[in-house]
A and B are shown apart, each in its own frame.
Chain A
Amino acid sequence: MLRGPESRRVLAVVRRTAVMLVVASRLVLAGPVPAPVVTSTPATARLLIAAGRYRPLWRQPVPGASRDTVRRAVVATDVGAFLLDQHAVTNDDFLAFVRTHPEWRRSRVSRLFADASYLHHWRGDLDPGPQAPGRSPVVYVSWFAARAYAAAQGGRLPSVAEWERVAAADETRRDATRDARFLTRVREFYARPAPAVLPEVGSTYRDVWGVDDMHGLIWEWTLDFNSALVSGESRADGSLDRSLFCGAGASGAADFADYAAFMRFAYRASLEARYTTAQLGFRVAYDTPATGSARTRAAPASTRKAGLP
């Protein structure tokens, strides 16, 4: 959505471009006038997300009383402050990216970095077409492509902790995950079949951070989506490691009513980085200038039952 000063700037650019085109067409005495090239879309607003905590679904081993016992507890993660795109990356945004990064065009992308349905709903390499409206979120993009886009903007993908921290918010609260109505809304989104053509960004809701459509439009890639381990592969004793299982390990720790969070966990566990699907897109995160690299640190086990601040 364009606000006052932004829309005036865009109109000014459009007017300047129109004048230049008229002048250019008069100067050219012979030969075709080149079509105007859209060189950039209005930059997506970035919202500052304050530092806070994220409580994951799973328990981790924490040192116990003796060497032989390993206690497991939910370890809340400190999430540093960061900036997040107001809305998901759109088809217009991604078109501008593939214009300047031809290696990410559909006909040229490496199969190492994207599967066969990469941007397959676009009409052509540089033509999203009617299945991919300009202001709708870009989908059918892989994690590698999303990362490359983010890097080109000077940003990165949000981590799971960062994304979930923002996703916990509704229109008025930073943490709405204790509200059954909020959880119901999110579950209803997951239950709906994907529309053939996605609606535009900003068409669902804006949360208390000013961020649009964290639920209700698409699923979103995260930097460490492949942290969703669902079996005890790393345990040398070979026994089932209940701390890494969604159900048994998390009961009593996370709010079991947040079925949607379990769905997302399972979804991430099913993804591979080169996959592209109909409802999977992304948005970009940025480190704040003050904190530089906003790494998430694992804090000591918290005994608080309270949710995120």
Chain B
Amino acid sequence: MFELTFPLTDSQGRTRHLDELRGRPFVASMVYTSCTSVCPRITADLQRLERALPADVRARTRFVLFSLDPERDTPAALRAFAREHGLDSTRWTLLAAGPDDMRTLAAVLDVRFRPDAGGEIAHSAVIVVAGADGVIRHRQAGLGTGDSSLVAAVRAAQ
């Protein structure tokens, strides 16, 4: 994934690049902060995965949430989201790319999405596990299909 070189903004308003994730395996998904349907469940699934990892694996693994809604997911919105869900900032990174780059990211992760008239974004639930080299090693589409395969994938990506 590190071939994607466009800039992203984190929850502190800093400009970041995907390449900065190099060196530690990471688990990633695409959500948006005003989503009331599937995103809270994705986040909960990722937190359950975080708790299920052995302590040494957990210490080395990052969790990344990419925004599907960069216009509304400002750094403040990302911070509020992280606070509401109690995300450990030493392990969790929330990133928002520009609209065109977000589309590229969704294409790479194969996240299907469609904004609708009411301001919601219908989208598929995708969780990927990437190695320290940024290569995607495992991809889960759909919710709640069980943690064991994700745990195994994270361990294999170490």
Name A's B-contacting residues (CB within 8 A).
60-63, 75, 110, 112-113, 143-144, 147, 223-224, 226-229, 233-236, 238, 244, 269, 272-274, 298-301
Cross-chain pair count, CB within 8 angstroms: 79
Taking a contact as CB atoms under 8 Å apart, the answer to whether A112 and B1 are in contact is yes
Q: How far is the CA of A62 from the CA of B120 in the complex (A)?
A: 11
Q: How far is the CA of A238 from the CA of B121 in the complex (A)?
A: 16
Q: How far is the CA of A234 from the CA of B104 in the complex (A)?
A: 20
The residue in chain B whose Cβ has the minimal distance to the Cβ of A160 is B114
Taking a contact as CB atoms under 8 Å apart, the answer to whether A112 and B108 are in contact is yes
Which range holds the interface residue count of chain B? 20 to 34
Given A226-B106, A229-B112, are A234 and B118 neighbors across the interface (CB < 8 Å)?
no
Taking a contact as CB atoms under 8 Å apart, the answer to whether A244 and B122 are in contact is yes
A-B contact pairs, 10 of them (CB 8 A): A63-B118, A110-B3, A112-B1, A224-B114, A227-B112, A234-B38, A234-B120, A234-B122, A236-B37, A236-B38
For A298, list chain B residues within 8 Å (CB). 115-117
List of 6 A-B pairs having minimum Cβ-Cβ separation, nearest first: A273-B107, A298-B117, A227-B114, A234-B122, A236-B37, A75-B117
Q: How far is the CA of A183 from the CA of B115 in the complex (A)?
A: 29
Rounded to whole Å, the gap between the CB of A13 and the closest CB of chain B is 34
Taking a contact as CB atoms under 8 Å apart, the answer to whether A234 and B37 are in contact is yes
Name B's A-contacting residues (CB within 8 A).
1, 3-4, 36-38, 40-41, 103-104, 106-108, 110-118, 120-125, 142-143
Given A60-B118, A112-B1, A112-B3, are A227 and B113 neighbors across the interface (CB < 8 Å)?
yes
The residue in chain B whose Cβ has the minimal distance to the Cβ of A295 is B99
Taking a contact as CB atoms under 8 Å apart, the answer to whether B107 and A144 are in contact is yes
For A234, list chain B residues within 8 Å (CB). 37-38, 120-125
Q: How far is the CA of A143 from the CA of B107 in the complex (A)?
A: 9
B117: which of A143, A227, A269, A301 is its contact (CB, 8 Å)? A301
Q: How far is the CA of A147 from the CA of B107 in the complex (A)?
A: 12
Taking a contact as CB atoms under 8 Å apart, the answer to whether A233 and B115 are in contact is no
Which of A147, A227, A300 has most chain B Cβ within 10 Å? A227
A60-B116, A224-B103, A234-B120 are known contacts; what are 14 more A-B pairs with Cβ within 8 Å? A60-B118, A143-B107, A147-B104, A226-B110, A226-B113, A233-B122, A233-B143, A236-B37, A236-B38, A236-B40, A236-B41, A238-B143, A273-B110, A301-B117
For A236, list chain B residues within 8 Å (CB). 36-38, 40-41
Given A226-B106, A229-B112, A273-B108, are A61 and B118 neighbors across the interface (CB < 8 Å)?
yes
Which of B106, B112, B121 has most chain A Cβ within 10 Å? B112
Q: How far is the CA of A233 from the CA of B41 in the complex (A)?
A: 11
The residue in chain A whose Cβ has the minimal distance to the Cβ of B142 is A233
Q: How far is the CA of A62 from the CA of B103 in the complex (A)?
A: 25
Rounded to whole Å, the gap between the CB of A72 and the closest CB of chain B is 10
Q: How far is the CA of A228 from the CA of B113 in the complex (A)?
A: 8
Q: How far is the CA of A85 from the CA of B1 in the complex (A)?
A: 32
For A63, list chain B residues within 8 Å (CB). 118
